[in-house]
Structure 1
């Protein structure tokens, strides 16, 4: 509707709960932290022969953390966390890039964790060699639940990343470029937010 000042105001549709920026960013951050948390826990327990027990190896066996069994998972979880936080301030095009990055990170997390589940002995060989000085040992390796949790959290992380692009249609435009892309027209005296005000000041405009 056209007002007295000749400005055009567009009515914004109601934002679904799943598409809220705070909700989606929080879910992605929580899942990334959950994946990171699993890597701090024991993924594998290696039962060594008494003659192989060295310093730092308990009688209960060699405990191999996820960060050692699947070294890439920790880094990929941090990448996904950074991507989720960046999505909250990114523009429309950048959100596509961030979505792709988080999807690749999630796929890498799932692939690395599945590799450990498929061949736990191979995943433990580095830790066995470091603890005993013997590589290629034929020992018993028991899996814990944390690799499975990493797979589940990684899969959910990828699904959440796919929601960024459709959810971004409901998110408030932060710059003049996003506003032009979405077709939103606002009055000159109604800046979108403080960041938009700083953008206008940098162009020499007085938002007041």
Structure 2
């Protein structure tokens, strides 16, 4: 009897592609926060050095936090079960919206984003009288946020066909010990994750 060869899943639906792509998006959003978002020119009479470069991590601290969440969620998706993947997809949606919203807020009101840096420079809160210029970084971060939202949808759609890894699957419960053989309790995905975080092999029950 002939059997049909098993066709490989399309590349866009493969776990490695989805996880790696989403991690890249989160890392890209995080990377923008290490660059200059705002160029500030203070009044000449205010300080000796009137030019200030405000990094994204200072102009929009929420972007950094949401980007880290996105990366962590993408990595967790590689070992998560079916239900957990839906939760992770929802987390990615929230993280993406957070990145996009916080970035757009700086674009819309750069003076507010620069207020903290200006206050440190001149010792007075606010950025009145300062000339603030927005660089390309907030726009790139906002675009990365939108893509992270789409990655959440991508994960939800693609992961429906992902098989559950046998390594982390729950083991069936056994009856009473037979001929001196000990029975092993079933382990679920949360137990597997706990074992991994402790550096243990989740398949070793002894």
TM-score when normalising by structure 1? 0.76
Runs of 4+ in 1 over 6 A off after TM superposition: none
Number of the residue aligned with 2:162: 171
Residue 27 of structure 2 corresponds to residue 36 of structure 1: no
| More off after superposition, 11-20 vs 43-52 | 11-20
Within 5 Å, which residues of 2 pair with 1:146-161? 146-161=137-152
Aligned residues: 173
Equivalents in 2 of 1:86, 1:80: separation in Å? 10
Q: CA distance change for structure 1 residues 22 and 125 in 2, over 3 Å: closer, same or farther?
A: same
Equivalents in 2 of 1:200, 1:87: separation in Å? 19
Equivalents in 2 of 1:166, 1:123: separation in Å? 36
Equivalents in 1 of 2:134, 2:24: separation in Å? 24
Within 5 Å, which residues of 2 pair with 1:15-94? 15-53=9-47, 58=49, 61-94=51-84
Equivalents in 1 of 2:6, 2:69: separation in Å? 32
SS in 2 for 1:89: coil
Residues 46-68 of structure 1, C-alpha deviation per residue, up to 9 Å, x if partnerless? 110122225xxx45x11100000
Number of the residue aligned with 1:100: 90
Number of the residue aligned with 2:136: 145
Q: Which has the higher contact order (CA 8 A, sep 6+)?
A: 1
Number of the residue aligned with 1:114: 104
Equivalents in 2 of 1:173, 1:199: separation in Å? 15
Q: CA distance change for structure 1 residues 200 and 53 in 2, over 3 Å: closer, same or farther?
A: closer
SS in 1 for 2:161: coil
Equivalents in 1 of 2:204, 2:133: separation in Å? 61
TM-score when normalising by structure 2? 0.77
Equivalents in 2 of 1:80, 1:200: separation in Å? 28
Equivalents in 2 of 1:30, 1:22: separation in Å? 12
Residues 118-170 of structure 1, C-alpha deviation per residue, up to 9 Å, x if partnerless? 00011111110011112232311000000000011111111011111221122
Contact 1:80 1:101 in 2 (8 A): yes
Equivalents in 2 of 1:114, 1:24: separation in Å? 26
CA RMSD of aligned residues (A): 2.4
Q: How far apart are 1:44 and its partner, in Å?
A: 0.3
Q: CA distance change for structure 1 residues 116 and 85 in 2, over 3 Å: closer, same or farther?
A: same
